[in-house]
Homo-oligomer: A and B are copies of this chain.
């Protein structure tokens, strides 16, 4: 066999999505992948410990995650059949792509945004088109591309941290017409969310437990959509896509409302301080509704700042977008981590 011919040409041609650096030696202050600086709820740890007893590990998990779905449905005030469980919200985005987008189909998203949307199109052998946000990070009105098989909107958006408010969002959804994914990975840090829009037959909201619940390590996310859509998505997901430990962890995490409220409040307070301080240092910082801020400079590229921070064992995410220049996406770490970052930056800019 000639490998080059056997592998699909769209796969061969792509470079592959590159996730943020994950150094394993623990000496870095990691502000590059939007992890939560605080530990998860103790209830999560207890739930996992409990599941290690008995025969949960040796048996297959519940394919549909009934107990998690019932818990989440009660807390969110929705129908359990409107929930699809995922091995991280990336798994959910993959399932959505495979359900809606044929080879040669079209995926659309605003730009600059989550670069995985393009990778999902490449893997599926579909076309990808981006639509620039307006200068103040709103969606162009009217929306220029109809007829896409799937249109993704990260809301809050990454890297900007900005948010499309509900009235504009509703108008946009009507203009798009076709299936829309509201990627709400960061929405727990925002003032509002679009969950109620997922009652519409063409809107799917996705959520992640990686950020607001401090569980990036366990891989759990979910989609909220009309039950008729969830039924189709279920055909496409791997039967046992969520393991038993992540299922009990996720149910325990959502059940601890106090944890979410307290952690969120700390992060929102630090976010404000970080944004203000960066502006004082001469950065342009967009108003963030997420657990990171997007910092650019009108006067220069920030690449050398990224590199110098890395030499000083502080990792932030350097991002470049075509026609848009570069910027630093800085996760909202603990107060001590942000103090250290700001102290280093002061000597640098």
Min distance, Cβ A210 to any Cβ of chain B, angstroms: 7
| Contact residues, A17-57 vs B (CB, 8 A) | 17, 19-20, 22, 24, 30, 33, 35-40, 44-45, 48-49, 52, 55-57
Min distance, Cβ A270 to any Cβ of chain B, angstroms: 16
Min distance, Cβ A120 to any Cβ of chain B, angstroms: 10
**C-alpha gap A52/B45 in the complex (Å):** 7
Contact A94 B238 (CB under 8 A): yes
Partner of A61 from B16, B217, B243 at Cβ < 8 Å: B217
Partner of A1 from B19, B201, B235 at Cβ < 8 Å: B201
Q: Which residues of B contact A241 (CB under 8 A)?
A: 87-88, 91, 219
**C-alpha gap A228/B216 in the complex (Å):** 29
Q: Which residues of B contact A101 (CB under 8 A)?
A: 8
Contact B88 A3 (CB under 8 A): no
Contact A243 B218 (CB under 8 A): yes
A103 on interface, CB distance cutoff 8 Å: yes
Binding site of A, secondary structure by majority: helix, strand, loop or mixed?
loop
Contact B39 A57 (CB under 8 A): yes
Q: Which residues of B contact A62 (CB under 8 A)?
A: 22, 24
Partner of A123 from B59, B63, B98, B242 at Cβ < 8 Å: B98
Min distance, Cβ A124 to any Cβ of chain B, angstroms: 8
Partner of A232 from B7, B45, B90, B246 at Cβ < 8 Å: B7
A316 on interface, CB distance cutoff 8 Å: no
**C-alpha gap A210/B45 in the complex (Å):** 23
Partner of A243 from B3, B219, B228, B236 at Cβ < 8 Å: B219
Q: Which residues of B contact A265 (CB under 8 A)?
A: none
Min distance, Cβ A20 to any Cβ of chain B, angstroms: 8
Min distance, Cβ A12 to any Cβ of chain B, angstroms: 7
Contact B239 A17 (CB under 8 A): yes
Q: Which residues of B contact A158 (CB under 8 A)?
A: none
**C-alpha gap A3/B49 in the complex (Å):** 42
Q: Which residues of B contact A71 (CB under 8 A)?
A: none
A83 on interface, CB distance cutoff 8 Å: no
A60 on interface, CB distance cutoff 8 Å: yes
Q: Given A1-B202, A58-B38, A58-B39, A236 and B11 touching (CB < 8 A)? A: yes
| Other A-B pairs beyond A48-B48, A91-B238, 5, CB < 8 Å | A3-B229, A57-B216, A59-B217, A61-B217, A123-B236
